[in-house]
Amino acid sequence: MEDRPVYRWNNKNILVVEDDESSTFLLGEILKGTGATIEYTTDGDEAIEYIRNHPDTDLILMDVHLPEKDGFTATREIKAISSSVVIIAQTAYAFSVDHHEAEKAGCDAFFTKPLNPILLLDKINRFLT
């Protein structure tokens, strides 16, 4: 495994919104050791409720293709509640329409899966520091 920088995000709160168990596990592994508090939800409605109850959340990793309420709709509603929270969209589909829709919804960045852990951590670090 290649070396990667060590990130220290103590006092930072990250929400992972992901309905796929293997993707959830992978994101947990990528974020492990950063010092951030990591929470998980599996759909857009849960994410919105979480932000209502935890407005101090710093960053959200948002899967855009979720059951019930998709990540784009959830992003718009979350940004209405907390415009300062950073939302990074992620999807297994690399369609340009997804990227455009993510920007339109208010996402701050966009990644396609499979995620490159080093690039993802570097992008998160830029937002959190």
Let me know if residue 9 belongs to a domain.
no
Contact present, 44 and 71 (Cβ < 8 Å): yes
Count Cβ atoms below 10 Å from residue 69 Cβ, excluding itself.
15
Q: What's the domain count of the chain?
A: 1
Could you give the CA distance from residue 3 to residue 1 in angstroms, rounded to a whole number? 7
Question: How far separated are the first and last CA of the chain, in Å rounded?
Answer: 26
Let me know if residue 103 belongs to a domain.
yes
Tens digit of pLDDT for each residue in 14-45? Answer: 999 999 999 999 999 999 999 999 999 999 99
DSSP 32: T
Could you give the CA distance from residue 87 to residue 90 in angstroms, rounded to a whole number? 10
| CATH number of the CATH domain containing 42 | 3.40.50.2300
Let me know if residue 52 belongs to a domain.
yes
Global pTM reads: 0.93
Tens digit of pLDDT for each residue in 84-129? Answer: 999 999 988 766 667 888 999 999 999 988 899 999 999 999 999 9
Let me know if residue 4 belongs to a domain.
no
Let me know if residue 112 belongs to a domain.
yes
